[in-house]
Amino acid sequence: MSAPDPFELFAYYHLGFDREYRYRFRNLHHTAAYFGLSPDALKAVLHELKLDADTVKLVDFNLSKAHADAQEFELTAAPREARELHAQKSFEALKLAIATWNGEPAPDDVDWDNLDLPKRIEEPSS
């Protein structure tokens, strides 16, 4: 089998969407079987496409949020079009983060308790 389409691979492996945008948790072994590859071959493809976990976690892209949003689409029975749009926008954002990556880990500038505010913003004093 030829190498998987990068977008389809991202949507399946990282977001959990199959070709019909149905969500399920997917791991490396599920993904390898889905694309007709061995786990080792899939690891090589992910690395070559810079879609491997080691790369994705270093760039300025919030994969956890993208995946959580995909789960929410499933829980709320969002239409296929909304799921597909989310996958496309997430993939484009990741591609941009990879293209502009300087090779250094992205700054950990996230306040996980308040995703709308950068971590360095101080709360006003009373």
Kindly list the domain boundaries of the chain, sorted by start residue.
Answer: 6-99
More confident residue, 19 or 3: 19
pLDDT at 9 exceeding the cut of 90: yes
As a whole number of angstroms, the distance between CA 45 and CA 43 comes to 5
Number of H helices, E strands in the chain: 6, 0
What's the pTM? 0.80
Quickly tell me which residue has 């992205």 as its tokens: 106
Report, as an integer, the average pLDDT of 11-26.
Answer: 95
pLDDT at position 37 is 96
pLDDT at position 102 is 82
Confidence grade of residue 109 (pLDDT, cut at 50, 70, 90): low
pLDDT at 77 exceeding the cut of 70: yes
